[in-house]
Structure 1
Amino acid sequence: MKRAGQNEGAATRNEGNGGQHARQAKESIPRTALILYGSETGNAQDVAEEIGRMTERLRFETTVLDLDSIQLRDVVQPTVVIFALSTTGQGEMPQNARKFWKTLLSGALKPGILRKLHFSSFGLGDSSYAHYNVAHRMLHGRLVQLGADSFCERGEGNEQHPEGHSAGFREWIVKLKQRLAEVFPLADGLEPLPDDLFVEPKWKLVLSDKETNGVAGPSIADSLGEVPSSDLLPLKNSHKAHIERNDRITAKDHFQDVRLLDLRVEEDVPYGPGAVAVIHPKNFPEDIESFIKLMNWEEIADKPLDLVTTISPSGKIHSPLIPSPLRHLDLTSVSLTLRWLLENVLDIMSIPRRTFFAELAHFAGESNEDEAYQKERLLELANPELIDELWDYTTRPKRTILEVMMDFTTIKIPWEYALSVLPIMRGRQFSIASGGALKQDEQGRTRIQLLIAIVDPPSPIIKWRRRYGVCTRYITSLQEHQHINIGIQQGYLDVQPTELQVPVIMIGPGTGLAPMRSMIHERVQWAGQQGVAGRSKALDGDVLFFGCRAENADHFFHDEWERLGTNEGLSVFTAFSRDKNKARQYVQDQIRAQGSDVCDALLNHDGKVYVCGSSGNMPKGVRQAILDAIVEHSGGLSAENAEAYLGRMEKGGRYKQETW
């Protein structure tokens, strides 16, 4: 394995007068790259980390951070800054980019203040939203407005593409690499680090000096259970939640298991409609043990370890500019071992990305025919020009990292580099389904209810092993009275009590019903607190469109809707797509069937629309159905004018979408 130390051959930035971007190298100034991301689900962070691996090979001293970890003055110091930013909610910044964006919008910033900033950017968005990639475009525009130099055209990825955002990213990063080489050329005699050269990661695992007698602690392998441990994951900025119930609410013979996870938190945790709970999954003991055996880690699996940085003389430091891969955890009371990391941190059950195979290739040998073949195969899967090959091997069969290592039996990942080669498990967001009076129980505790569809997809190729959603499989293992640490994020629907004065049209098929239920109960409580002029009941004029498969299979909260209809005036229309006793319908069909009321609520009463659920065809179909209803029942509004009216609703915050 060819190696390069982290600081090997650090080249210098070019400065000079040969045109806007022609700069001569000065050895006194290091070449530095700052890669900044704003990410809600982790995709933009993945993009940022891949950009960082590329800039390191171009001999830039590289740091990858989230946007809110830096000050504005930090962005003018590096040679180059590259942004990776997702758009969330109604064209908004992700949670970990909002502070930076607020600073950037300050009226006190003078034009030209960022003239020393040389940057490029990549945006991740979903074209099923009206505000496609708008956060990225706003960031790019504001940076240029403040004098920053965009040395490479911005790139964008669309989650609606068959390959997701990866398709746009793959094309853009090739252009970025070319522009970096042109604009910031290496000093004479230096070349980029070749792809087959292993670059020492910034962090690695070492045996802990706490093990002074050389005797390993008792092996956990001797007492493996069937489900993950109930030990709390030491997440920073989290809440300890008690599991009151974890009930399946779909029929036993229904193909999908949907859970109502009922949690309690002792302290007061405020949240509103659209808020999400973040749950971090754990891996299962049988998978952990299989991976340990595949890697030949049996002797080291239960020995205490330390995480150290490779670029500081003292090793054990945690500088904010050398971000630890475990910075989201409080490890003060944790005995760090490989087994603990495999259960709580390392995502061995995810579908691997292209960069994973590129990393594995560094550990591949060529001393015999098997090793040579497996290395060649890894390089094929790592080749960005052979994306169909990667898709056929990983995405199509839903092949996990564990299963990949079962195929590549000659590859053994050095345990020291486990945190840099294997992806980190990230928390999954689930919309909160409780609201209003449901947010507190009789003991005064905060109630958080989640409506969760358990992911159990079939594989068209791998039949011998079931497919699972990493987090939802973990959720099925949670027992009553167990505790877990969760995060709470406020979401992007931004529903306010002032909205009581206008009717709302809520569309939430499947588990998209969760934020709608939260909003309905919130509006009932607000109406009780402040009253609603001109209404005899709290929810008069409010309409819920729900879609499910069958009356007796997945008609969530049916009794609750009947009660709210009778007592509070809520109108509920349900579309059944697979009920043998009813005509096949989708929420779009119900919207058209109730088109007169929908049109009246929007045109004559300034009503609002909320759409939640699966992204893709559903939001587009719903929007078209609402357009059709306006055209048919408005009394003369043309399709063009109806489109313009709906566009104004979207820009004015009267049409909001939250899909996943």
Structure 2
Amino acid sequence: MERAGQDDGASAQNGRKHETTPKTGKPRTALVLYGSETGNAQDVAEEVGRMAERLRFDTTVLDMDSVQLRDMLKPTVVVFALSTTGQGDVPQNARKFWKTLLSGALKAGVMRRIRFSSFGIGDSSYARYNIAHRMLCGRLQQLGAQLFCERGEGNEQHPEGHSAGFREWIVALREMLIESFPCPEGTELLVDDEFLEPKWKLALSGQEDMSQSNGLSEHPPGMNGAINGSSAHAQKMAEMVGDVPSHDLNPIKDAHTARLVANDRVTTHDHFQDVRLLDFRFADDISYGPGAVAVIYPKNFPSDVQGFIELMSWQAVADKPLDLVPTSSQSTTNPSPLRHITLPHPLTLRWLLENALDIMSIPRRSFFANLIHFTDSSNADAEYQKERLVELANPELIDELWDYTTRPKRTILEVMTDFTAIWIPWQYCLTTLPLMKGRQFSIASGGQLRHPLDGSQETRVQLLVAIADPPSPIIKYRRRYGVCTRYIATLQAGQDLRIGIQPGYLDARPSDLDVPILMIAPGTGVAPMRSLIWQRVLWAHELGLRAPGKALEGDVLFFGSRNAEADFFFVDEWEELQKSEGLTVLTAFSRDKEKPRQYVQDVLRKNAEMVRRIVVREKGKIYLCGSSGNMPKAVREALVDVLSEVDGVHLGIGDKELKDGQDGRTAAEAYLERMERAGRWKQETW
């Protein structure tokens, strides 16, 4: 791992020395830790980090799993940003940290030296709203950590999303940092529009190229006097390789090499959506259970990479060997932004744009805030573009940002075609452009399908992936794509990839065979349900937990799609499992010409007595997987309707749990909430 801070000198660029607290003379340091599933909490952490830098704290921003508990005892302050995922779970990159924090070996008071604050991101439509964040705060205080600023929370159900709560909290955090940890005498805070030198930057190989004291070029990037001429290789790259990402392995650490055996379309060719079943083989013996996810890191297409290079005038440097270098020594250790990748030799801008920088993603507010530092007011057009950037970076104008970026699904590449007076210095592309994050896909194989049927000991992983190709009502001249699924559609049999495997949140166990399960899975949500079904079959056979031919007796799968002929995934398997193992499959097709339109929630209501028997009398479990849009709310409403017919006494709901009247719906809602707390309701939506 590349790390900065290996010498004791001060910054050669800005002459900054470590800021110290007035009382102790020790460096004023801030450690900002995040647990993030989709990037929202990471974005919050990075903004907190920039704010702390402007208050002259020597700041480090890391995911929670990258630190040891003892690392939190060193900084002046520790700030957490944590999302609640699933039904009260911590994100994947905070699980190890949280497990360590829960250790019974930790005694009360062990963290009394820690001064901390935190911000949580959650969704109030879930019963356990922001619970991961609240448990983190509670555990830290139980161990003696001191809360120097009240925790904040953001609600994704708010009209402005979590940004509304974050705006209020970060103002309070800033005031408390200034009040509790003032700057040394003679040191001024940095104003918001002053450029912050990043911890790492790119330089020509063998050169540190740090002549600019403020880090900003006076000329468009790529026109620097140290770089002359243009690269014929750069200009012809797209034509030479074709507009398909390279088959070279993306050297992701903490991942496994897999061979793609098949990439088959499983929807009919006249169907509106292209859904693929990908079949991978791993030489390693990898253990995974129902709900586990495969993490695929996409690549950008050569034509998009070349287009961005030309927009930024980076042609002359695009294929030059580069080094990733620290900009200064730091009192805290700041890891490389590319620490998750084994960097190639030579490292080039073109390689980074294809493999590591997400130029086709929808930009966040922080991206526009960074661009402001690369603007000038040399003419009226440049001045207008700078004013527009200020609007898009303003947290008070969240609707403006949404209308410009999220609603039309406008990519960073398209944004830069609008802001033609702005050039990003290539030296700072790693901190200005977002890094390519791996995309998670639920594993569809499990049980006996975890190994190939030919008897080999390879590990088999199958994924059911819908290729995202949504239309845009605003930008009609360019098709919209999902960054990763567009890449997946190009993968060919025989190709090798580096793929991560992570545990999911379904938490299925052999003991679950004691009760039946009710699985609700519209569309590609059936992928983790297939894994769960085959795993239950294997447990039943190997452990003798159910009689032969009855491994799935009492289990019910509610599957929904548009058409029985076009997108009824794994229909042959369901028919066989109904005959051989007693599985019950109930379907809902919303666009089938020969059947009335219905959805899974409609089928739940039609089979109310079965649902009540499984959920109430037999104490079964519910699994819900699929789209995170309106479907989960509609399914929950249907279950409330079904359970409201059961008397509260039979549900085990006492008067104290009823609210606003003791009617059946209130009792049903209380019962579902109790199921969630007990782990009998598992929801995996995306």
Q: TM-score, normalised by structure 2?
A: 0.89
1:650 aligns with 2:676: yes
One-letter amino acid of the counterpart of residue 552, structure 1? E
- On the 8 A contact 1:236/1:328 being kept in 2, the answer is yes
Q: Distance in 1 between matches of 2:132 and 2:152?
A: 13
Q: Distance in 2 between matches of 1:607 and 1:434?
A: 23
Partner of 2:540: 527
1:537 to 1:320, Cα distance in 2 relative to 1, 3 A: farther
Partner of 1:41: 38
Partner of 2:335: 323
Match of residue 8, structure 1, among 13, 16, 20 = 16
- On the 8 A contact 1:216/1:303 being kept in 2, the answer is no
Match of residue 121, structure 1, among 118, 122, 139 = 118
- On the 8 A contact 1:216/1:302 being kept in 2, the answer is no
Partner of 1:240: 257
One-letter amino acid of the counterpart of residue 484, structure 1? L
Deviations 1:577-631 (A, max 9, x none): 2223221211111111111111111222221111111124322222232232223
1:641 aligns with 2:652: no
1:428 to 1:163, Cα distance in 2 relative to 1, 3 A: farther
Deviation at 1:517, TM superposition (A): 0.6
Q: CA RMSD in A?
A: 2.5
User: SS of the residue aligned with 2:440?
Assistant: strand
Deviation at 1:535, TM superposition (A): 7.3
Partner of 2:402: 391
1:60 aligns with 2:71: no
Partner of 1:618: 631
Q: Distance in 2 between matches of 1:194 and 1:127?
A: 36
Deviation at 1:169, TM superposition (A): 2.3
User: SS of the residue aligned with 1:459?
Assistant: coil
Deviation at 1:634, TM superposition (A): 6.3
Q: Distance in 2 between matches of 1:606 and 1:28?
A: 61
One-letter amino acid of the counterpart of residue 681, structure 2? Y
One-letter amino acid of the counterpart of residue 283, structure 2? E
1:279 aligns with 2:292: no
Q: Distance in 2 between matches of 1:621 and 1:156?
A: 26
Deviations 1:518-550 (A, max 9, x none): 111111122221234467521110000111112
Which moved further from structure 2: 480-489 or 210-219? 210-219
Match of residue 363, structure 1, among 364, 374, 390 = 374
Q: Distance in 2 between matches of 1:541 and 1:435?
A: 20
Partner of 1:418: 429
User: SS of the residue aligned with 1:89?
Assistant: coil
Deviation at 1:240, TM superposition (A): 1.0
Deviations 1:181-205 (A, max 9, x none): 3333334443321122111110000
User: SS of the residue aligned with 1:127?
Assistant: coil
1:219 aligns with 2:230: no
One-letter amino acid of the counterpart of residue 285, structure 2? D
Match of residue 312, structure 1, among 293, 309, 329 = 329
Q: TM-score, normalised by structure 1?
A: 0.92
One-letter amino acid of the counterpart of residue 316, structure 2? E
Q: Distance in 1 between matches of 2:529 and 2:85?
A: 18
Q: What does 1:170-209 correspond to in 2, within 5 Å?
A: 170-209=167-206
Q: Distance in 1 between matches of 2:385 and 2:643?
A: 60
Deviation at 1:180, TM superposition (A): 2.2
User: SS of the residue aligned with 1:342?
Assistant: helix
- On the 8 A contact 1:227/1:284 being kept in 2, the answer is yes
Partner of 2:552: 539
- On the 8 A contact 2:78/2:117 being kept in 1, the answer is yes
One-letter amino acid of the counterpart of residue 304, structure 2? D
Partner of 2:582: 569
Deviation at 1:239, TM superposition (A): 1.1
Q: Distance in 2 between matches of 1:47 and 1:253?
A: 43
Deviations 1:43-89 (A, max 9, x none): 32222111111111111110011222222222232221100112233
One-letter amino acid of the counterpart of residue 174, structure 1? V
Q: Distance in 1 between matches of 2:641 and 2:510?
A: 30
One-letter amino acid of the counterpart of residue 365, structure 2? R
1:249 aligns with 2:249: no
Match of residue 558, structure 1, among 571, 582, 592 = 571
Partner of 1:32: 29
Q: What does 1:101-116 correspond to in 2, within 5 Å?
A: 101-116=98-113
Q: Distance in 1 between matches of 2:438 and 2:286?
A: 19
User: SS of the residue aligned with 2:31?
Assistant: strand
Q: Distance in 1 between matches of 2:55 and 2:286?
A: 47
Q: Distance in 2 between matches of 1:487 and 1:416?
A: 30
1:580 to 1:38, Cα distance in 2 relative to 1, 3 A: same
Partner of 1:594: 607
Partner of 2:654: none
One-letter amino acid of the counterpart of residue 396, structure 1? R
1:439 aligns with 2:456: no
Partner of 1:51: 48
1:407 aligns with 2:418: yes
One-letter amino acid of the counterpart of residue 678, structure 2? G
How many residue pairs match? The answer is 641
- On the 8 A contact 2:614/2:620 being kept in 1, the answer is yes
One-letter amino acid of the counterpart of residue 415, structure 2? V
1:178 to 1:582, Cα distance in 2 relative to 1, 3 A: farther
1:376 aligns with 2:387: yes
User: SS of the residue aligned with 2:195?
Assistant: strand
Q: Distance in 1 between matches of 2:227 and 2:160?
A: 52
Deviation at 1:173, TM superposition (A): 2.0
Deviation at 1:362, TM superposition (A): 0.8
Partner of 1:354: 365
Q: Distance in 1 between matches of 2:118 and 2:310?
A: 42
Which moved further from structure 2: 189-198 or 537-546? 189-198
Match of residue 288, structure 1, among 305, 308, 332 = 305
One-letter amino acid of the counterpart of residue 69, structure 2? L
- On the 8 A contact 1:6/1:310 being kept in 2, the answer is no
User: SS of the residue aligned with 1:107?
Assistant: coil
One-letter amino acid of the counterpart of residue 131, structure 1? R
Q: Distance in 2 between matches of 1:455 and 1:213?
A: 40
One-letter amino acid of the counterpart of residue 420, structure 1? T
Deviation at 1:645, TM superposition (A): 2.9
Q: Distance in 2 between matches of 1:529 and 1:277?
A: 26
1:387 to 1:88, Cα distance in 2 relative to 1, 3 A: closer
- On the 8 A contact 1:506/1:611 being kept in 2, the answer is yes
Partner of 1:169: 166
1:258 aligns with 2:275: yes
Deviation at 1:296, TM superposition (A): 0.6
Partner of 2:129: 132
Deviation at 1:633, TM superposition (A): 5.4
- On the 8 A contact 1:358/1:378 being kept in 2, the answer is yes
1:534 to 1:625, Cα distance in 2 relative to 1, 3 A: farther
One-letter amino acid of the counterpart of residue 275, structure 2? V
Q: Distance in 2 between matches of 1:526 and 1:640?
A: 37
Match of residue 528, structure 2, among 502, 505, 515 = 515
Match of residue 427, structure 1, among 420, 424, 438 = 438
One-letter amino acid of the counterpart of residue 171, structure 1? E
One-letter amino acid of the counterpart of residue 400, structure 1? T
One-letter amino acid of the counterpart of residue 518, structure 1? S
1:621 to 1:155, Cα distance in 2 relative to 1, 3 A: same
Structure 2, gaps ≥5 residues long: 1-10, 209-225, 651-663
Q: Distance in 1 between matches of 2:142 and 2:309?
A: 52
1:536 to 1:78, Cα distance in 2 relative to 1, 3 A: same
Deviation at 1:265, TM superposition (A): 1.1
Deviation at 1:161, TM superposition (A): 3.8
